[in-house]
Amino acid sequence: MHREPIAGLPNWRHLAVDRVDSTNSEALRLAVAGEPDGLWITARSQSAGRGRRGRIWASEPGNLHASLLLVDPAPAPALANLPLVAALAAWRALRQILERVPAALSIKWPNDILVDGAKISGVLLESTAVPGGRMAVVIGWGINCAHHPETAMYPATNLAACGFSVTPEEMFLRLAAATAASLAEWNRGAGFGETRLAWRRAAHGLGQQVELQLPEGPVAGWFEDIDPEGHLCLRQPDGVVRRIFAGDLFFRN
């Protein structure tokens, strides 16, 4: 399969396919087979697109489905920051398009991008061990350019519905450039302070009353902050602040 260079991003290459089960799955398979760091895979459609927490990600042509393979992107403790770096990259790429209405765009912890409260993009991170005892991380973004699924779980939208006509190819180039900038700022974890500040400025609902769906059940409280490791700090009704690494966030209002 042919890898193309990406203009302006000399460390990366791009494999564009028409249809695949999941660009994340393909990136993981290639990583195990020895693919080096820095491969982007995009697909016009996916037959088994995956979302977070085992959900299906509807993946018909017209939207962007893109995954980036990184090999040993940072020392292990800093890897927990990557969901926020990935969110910031998508937010920055979309902000260029929504520059006339920047306030509409926000990040819902950890890495959904919202336009006026409706989800336009999601990120799925996965990892695997690869030859040589190294760790591969795959970051997969789905960005709704032309359509969005109707789900009962949360409101969703797409760029066309917001009045912006953007092809998946254009969206990909913007995402790749914003990802390069966001990874450089993060600097393998050494720059997470900058990442965290930028993420907080874009955050949806800091300080608001929220409910989190965790594997063990729902917990309620106030979304107080993101801590220096990137965990969500939830102030519970008894005043105790609980640090949460992963879950689904819902706003009470």
Residues that bind ligand BTN (CB under 6 A): 22-24, 46, 49-52, 55, 57, 65-67, 112, 122-124, 140-142
CB of 240 to ligand BTN, least distance (A): 29
Residue with smaller CB distance to ligand BTN, 108 or 196 = 108
CB of 211 to ligand BTN, least distance (A): 18
Tokens 């009962």 locate to 152
- Nearest position to ligand BTN, beta carbon: 122
Beta bridge partners of 2: none
154: which DSSP letter?
A: S
Residue with smaller CB distance to ligand BTN, 65 or 174 = 65
CB of 200 to ligand BTN, least distance (A): 20
CB count in 10 Å sphere of residue 93: 27
The whole-angstrom separation of Cα 182 and Cα 84 is: 10
Q: Which amino acid is at 91?
A: W
Pairing of strands 4-5, 134-143: unpaired
The SS3 of residue 8 is coil
The whole-angstrom separation of Cα 237 and Cα 117 is: 25
Residue with smaller CB distance to ligand BTN, 113 or 198 = 113
Beta bridge partners of 134: 130
Beta bridge partners of 105: 115
Residue with smaller CB distance to ligand BTN, 13 or 119 = 119
CB of 192 to ligand BTN, least distance (A): 22
CB of 236 to ligand BTN, least distance (A): 26
Residue with smaller CB distance to ligand BTN, 59 or 182 = 59
Tokens 């260029």 locate to 96
